[in-house]
Structure 1
């Protein structure tokens, strides 16, 4: 017997418009959108005064499973994501072991099927010596190939020119890259070690992992992609200078080279290292207020195409180390959409643009099947947002396994009240229903 849910009186935000519409969900799918809808057997949710958005699709997370589950797990982080309005995620391959074979990739999909409350996909990892294995990746049910260009992560630093050329020329699906030049970073690190010994201040992080380190690597990667006609996505742009590499003259669906901005690079600046220290240590580094504002503007100007989190938890014990032993990364999935809603409430971006950058554009870029929009016949990945219910982030309401957030102490003026994942009301007013799990993302690639 089919299950129906009717969302009434919502301010529906979708495809550049905001309309007072009702949405009828039948099982996993959106059955009907319109005015004054009714249904005899539907569970009715009155969304008066709330925004109804398509679920956020986060194209870059690190959920740490397998191998690093003391930091995070697919179960815990997918719950935090759903509570933050993220209904689908794409997870990176630098787990332990690194996801460098098809068997290890399948192992992660098996974990996702068993544990993830959100819809999921996992990147295949590239190294200097697994090209043939990478090329076996299925375009239909894997989001993409991830390459670390110039930033060492386990066995995943790809710095061999021939390997890179072969990967970019032969890959038949999207290649996503972390771009920082390792040689520049090492040279800068030696300068600061000589100056400070083992007591390097966190304020040096954006000078060690510098603008040059980012631009050298990203410009090289973009040139390589253009030369080979590769569908190429540059992750977590952190500098104003890098935004010059990207184009806004054609629609996203026609772009060969695309890019992503992350929440932290559009929120924090190097001034925040004084109070936040290692809690805002990411790679690439949070840089100057100028860089932050340039990245935000490039996102508004469509030079940067999507907004993501790069959610990458570590324990507080790990984060409390000095600079040299403090790992980079932090939890963000629970607070990403509320953070962008703060920018909306401050008049910096429209809510329609937030939906475009966090839902529509990831769906276009990755060619995701029947998600990312509020459309009849699409999966009911939906989020209700209340902008009248203020709250403050603290350790007591952080859901990530690591138990902390760089947003602690921040007042947020919007709250996620309901999250539907493939038609299932997975989260409602602080409570989870885990009776139905997320689904594997599929990709409609010609």
Structure 2
């Protein structure tokens, strides 16, 4: 069914909250108005007391396909995403093989078209030796170019100064960066190994993947972008110090922007004592001071986008000793609910949360016809019940890894429905497995 009438919802969109009816027809938002009459052949949802939002656009996920399907794939993770109100995602290149050629990039689109329940796009990854591939990229073929400016995963570290300079100079589209300085991390790790005789506790993670490592690398990225006038987006900001690199205010006025992730709003270093390697990620979750500074930066627009960096690993892998346990958390299924907790706590306005989850990524990446509740736009929507608390249980986790760092936590809202291109793929209880998302188009 692609024709729907959603009645009496409170729309949260483009800085406004207001009650209206929304008609979905043939995959698009046909009409937004008051008191629409039901038409033949359409399903009607009474959304009184619910918020209707544009579907979340997640600009940073790791869905592990190809090569790491024992952790996740496009089918499992996209279903977890839509159950959490994410209707579009942009997936990272550190799969096996890495997405560092145009053929590997197109292979991901073919795979996702066959199995993804959500709309999708993919980054082309940078390496020290694929500059010509980057130069040849059609800007509409990828959401952006991803540079690991620091140790993270696989062989994708770009640390050749001449190569970095050339990529920033010649990139045909937006560059997104993971910023941590590898020599700083290596020195920190060597010191901790000696101090703890090789048995490093996970509580030391934010001191190994330190604030100094983040700031040094982010500062380099910003300096390169300013030198060449590059469109730069720095991912997963974790420190108060890095915030001085960015300007508050509207995204439309910026060439350099920043993103943070929902786990940096939820957790701080005090949570390592209870969650351990489950919240080990790169860059690391840091102090309560950093957490509060990040929330304030989201409020004033110094940070533009809120995403997940969804990165599942099996619970067995996470149970390994600190140095062997991989970094990353499964987050997409409960990301929107986690973000909305900032509204309930009074720390972020609801309108600003929606902007950072939906409007900002659509604008930043020039996503065509998505990210807003507008007549004529693609019908990607999420209906939230703000009066129905939800306690996370392991048995409901849809990600293939089968666990969540939020287990046992009660969120103050629930995801009642998610529509992707006008089809309801999540009804609050189950997934419609017949739904397939679309390849994201870019107005570039």
Fold-level similarity (TM above 0.5): yes
What SS does structure 2 have at the residue aligned with 1:75? helix
- Of residues 280-289 and 344-353 in structure 1, the stretch that sits farther from structure 2 once superposed is 344-353
TM-score by length of 2: 0.98
- Residues 87-116 of structure 1: CA distance to partner in whole angstroms, max 9, x if unpaired? 000000000011110001111111110010
2:225 maps to 1:225:
yes
Could you tell me how far apart the structure 2 residues matched to 1:254 and 1:114 are?
38
Could you tell me how far apart the structure 2 residues matched to 1:169 and 1:347 are?
42
What SS does structure 2 have at the residue aligned with 1:385? strand
Q: Hey, what does 1:325 align to over in structure 2?
A: 324
Paired residues of 1:419 and 1:427 also in contact (CA < 8 A): yes
Q: Hey, what does 2:9 align to over in structure 1?
A: 10
Q: Hey, what does 1:86 align to over in structure 2?
A: 86
What SS does structure 1 have at the residue aligned with 2:332? coil
Q: CA deviation at 1:150?
A: 1.8
**Residue correspondence of structure 1 range 274-423 to structure 2 within 5 A:** 274-423=273-422
Could you tell me how far apart the structure 2 residues matched to 1:311 and 1:164 are?
26
Q: Hey, what does 1:135 align to over in structure 2?
A: 135
Q: CA deviation at 1:430?
A: 1.3
Q: CA deviation at 1:3?
A: 4.5
Could you tell me how far apart the structure 2 residues matched to 1:305 and 1:376 are?
25
What SS does structure 1 have at the residue aligned with 2:337? helix
- Residues 289-332 of structure 1: CA distance to partner in whole angstroms, max 9, x if unpaired? 00111111111110100000000000000000110101000100
Paired residues of 1:6 and 1:43 also in contact (CA < 8 A): yes
- Residues 233-288 of structure 1: CA distance to partner in whole angstroms, max 9, x if unpaired? 00000000001100125x31231100101011111011111111000000000000
- Of residues 341-350 and 316-325 in structure 1, the stretch that sits farther from structure 2 once superposed is 341-350
Q: Hey, what does 1:61 align to over in structure 2?
A: 61
**Residue correspondence of structure 1 range 102-113 to structure 2 within 5 A:** 102-113=102-113
Unaligned runs of 5+ in 2: none
- Residues 58-110 of structure 1: CA distance to partner in whole angstroms, max 9, x if unpaired? 00000000000001111000000000000000000000011110001111111
Paired residues of 1:319 and 1:326 also in contact (CA < 8 A): yes
Q: Hey, what does 1:189 align to over in structure 2?
A: 189
Moved over 6 A (4+): none
Could you tell me how far apart the structure 1 residues matched to 2:404 and 2:428 are?
20
Could you tell me how far apart the structure 1 residues matched to 2:390 and 2:233 are?
35
Paired residues of 2:57 and 2:88 also in contact (CA < 8 A): yes
Q: Hey, what does 1:51 align to over in structure 2?
A: 51
Could you tell me how far apart the structure 1 residues matched to 2:273 and 2:206 are?
13
Paired residues of 1:9 and 1:20 also in contact (CA < 8 A): yes
Paired residues of 1:142 and 1:442 also in contact (CA < 8 A): no
**Residue correspondence of structure 1 range 15-54 to structure 2 within 5 A:** 15-41=14-40, 42-54=42-54
- Of residues 392-401 and 46-55 in structure 1, the stretch that sits farther from structure 2 once superposed is 392-401
Paired residues of 1:180 and 1:213 also in contact (CA < 8 A): yes
Paired residues of 1:141 and 1:441 also in contact (CA < 8 A): no
Paired residues of 1:113 and 1:437 also in contact (CA < 8 A): yes
Paired residues of 2:83 and 2:428 also in contact (CA < 8 A): no
Could you tell me how far apart the structure 1 residues matched to 2:137 and 2:85 are?
29
Q: Hey, what does 1:176 align to over in structure 2?
A: 176
Unaligned runs of 5+ in 1: none
Q: CA deviation at 1:153?
A: 2.3
What SS does structure 1 have at the residue aligned with 2:63? coil
What SS does structure 1 have at the residue aligned with 2:329? coil
TM-score by length of 1: 0.98
Instruction: Specify whether residues 3 and 308 from structure 1 end up closer, same or farther in structure 2 by C-alpha distance, changes over 3 A only.
Output: closer
What SS does structure 1 have at the residue aligned with 2:313? coil
Q: Hey, what does 1:210 align to over in structure 2?
A: 210
2:130 maps to 1:148:
no
Q: CA deviation at 1:413?
A: 1.3
Q: Hey, what does 1:427 align to over in structure 2?
A: 426
Could you tell me how far apart the structure 2 residues matched to 1:45 and 1:185 are?
52
What SS does structure 2 have at the residue aligned with 1:334? helix
Could you tell me how far apart the structure 2 residues matched to 1:429 and 1:175 are?
36
- Of residues 71-80 and 131-140 in structure 1, the stretch that sits farther from structure 2 once superposed is 131-140
Q: Hey, what does 2:242 align to over in structure 1?
A: 242
Instruction: Specify whether residues 295 and 104 from structure 1 end up closer, same or farther in structure 2 by C-alpha distance, changes over 3 A only.
Output: same
Q: Hey, what does 1:201 align to over in structure 2?
A: 201
What SS does structure 1 have at the residue aligned with 2:333? coil
Could you tell me how far apart the structure 1 residues matched to 2:143 and 2:407 are?
32
